[in-house]
């Protein structure tokens, strides 16, 4: 199963990607996670990406395209993969097409998770992430048992710098301007499935499974 999860920040892409990993036993490839890891380690990629990420802007296409090109060549992607947060511009989508055809892989599904803007702001401002295992919580909708402590690994929970309200508004504008055009890009390829993103995590997982296994 080779697919893309498309949707604005806070729509639940990361959470649904993890469910798909469990179901289909294929890797989740999140450019956001890869960039945050690079930033934490202080690699040249992380240093270059930091300024863009802090402002809620997209990092330049050439950097993320290179990450994806390298990642897709790894053995575990032969059976399938879930792209989470990539592509985010038409130029990235075209570079992905070129890479996939070179590797003789074909994309089967693009799931576009739809959530309105006010709901996204509520979700993102309350989001907290575990520093140790990456598990995601929400202070109101999915609070940890103990304040600021991860249920699974007891790691400390933190708020991503780019989950502050001013930066969130930038990220949503960037999504509308640069990423939303991908909806028609994949619709034209007949692989787009719009998924209503309001409801419980399980309900959305069911909608996704119904779309990819009709
Ligand atoms: P995410 O975790 O997917 O919300 O990504 C966090 C940040 O990483 C974004 O706001 C961008 O600054 C950067 N980023 C992640 N994926 C991409 C991408 N495909 N293209 C450009 N920038 C990206």
Q: What is the pLDDT of residue 196?
A: 97
At residue 135, does pLDDT exceed 80? yes
56 lines ligand 1 (CB under 6 A): yes
Is pLDDT at 101 greater than 80 in this prediction? yes
Active site residue 88: yes
Return the ligand 1 atom nearest residue 13 CA.
Answer: 3
Determine the Cα–Cα distance for residues 39 and 138; give it in Å rounded to an integer: 24
Q: Is the pLDDT of residue 30 over 90?
A: yes
| Whether the Cβ atoms of residue 206 and residue 213 lie closer than 8 Å to each other | no
Mean pLDDT of 114-139: 93
Active site residue 207: no
171: annotated active-site residue: yes
For ligand 1, atom 23, the nearest C-alpha belongs to 58
Confidence of residue 178 (pLDDT cuts 50, 70, 90): very high
Ligand 1 atom showing the smallest separation from residue 68 Cα? 19
Residue 207 has a pLDDT of 97
Please identify, by atom number, the ligand 1 atom nearest to the C-alpha of residue 9: 4
User: Ligand 1, atom 5: nearest CA belongs to which residue?
Assistant: 32
Q: What would the pLDDT profile of 140-175 be if each residue is shown by its tens digit?
A: 989 999 999 999 999 999 998 889 988 999 999 999
Distances (CA, A) of 21 to 3, 16, 17, 60, 133: 11, 9, 6, 28, 16
Which pLDDT does position 9 carry in this prediction? 94
pLDDT at 161: 86
Please tell me if the CB atom of residue 31 comes closer than 6 angstroms to any atom of ligand 1: yes
Q: Does pLDDT of 214 surpass 90?
A: no
List the one residue out of 169, 185, 9 whose CA is nearest residue 84.
Answer: 9
Spacing, Cα 152 to ligand 1 middle (Å):
26
In the structure encoding, which two tokens stand for residue 209, read together?
């499974």
The number of angstroms, rounded, from the C-alpha of 49 to the middle of its chain's C-alpha atoms is 16
Q: What separation, in Å, do the N-terminal and C-terminal C-alpha atoms of the chain show?
A: 14
Any atom of ligand 1 within 6 Å of the Cβ of 162: yes
Residue with the smallest CA separation from ligand 1 atom 10 is: 56
pLDDT of the residue at 27: 97
Q: What would the pLDDT profile of 40-70 be if each residue is shown by its tens digit?
A: 999 999 999 999 998 889 999 999 999 999 9
Q: What is the percent of the chain with per-residue pLDDT over 70, rounded to a whole number?
A: 100
CB of 88 sitting under 6 A from ligand 1? yes
Q: How far is the CA of 85 from the centre of ligand 1 (A)?
A: 6
CA distances from 214 to 88, 193, 208, 209 (A): 27, 11, 10, 8
């Amino acid at each position: 199963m080779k697919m893309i999860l498309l949707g604005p920040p806070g729509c639940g892409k990361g959470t649904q990607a993890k469910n798909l990993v469990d179901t289909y036993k294929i890797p989740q490839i999140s450019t956001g996670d890869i960039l945050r890891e690079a930033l934490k380690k202080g690699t040249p990629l992380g240093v270059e990406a930091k300024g863009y990420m802090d402002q809620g802007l997209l990092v330049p296409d050439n950097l993320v395209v290179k990450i994806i090109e390298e990642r897709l060549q790894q053995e575990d992607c032969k059976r399938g993969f879930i792209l989470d947060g990539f592509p985010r511009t038409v130029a990235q989508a075209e570079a992905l097409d070129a890479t996939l055809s070179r590797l003789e892989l074909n994309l089967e599904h693009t799931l576009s998770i739809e959530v309105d803007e006010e709901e996204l702001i509520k979700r993102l401002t309350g989001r907290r992430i575990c520093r140790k295992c990456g598990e995601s919580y929400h202070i109101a909708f999915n609070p940890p048992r103990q304040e600021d402590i991860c249920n699974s690994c007891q790691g400390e929970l933190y708020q991503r710098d780019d989950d502050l309200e001013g930066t969130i508004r930038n990220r949503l504008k960037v999504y509308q301007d640069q990423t939303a055009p991908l909806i028609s890009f994949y619709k034209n390829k007949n692989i787009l499935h719009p998924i209503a993103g309001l409801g419980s995590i399980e309900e959305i997982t069911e909608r996704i499974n119904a779309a990819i296994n009709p």
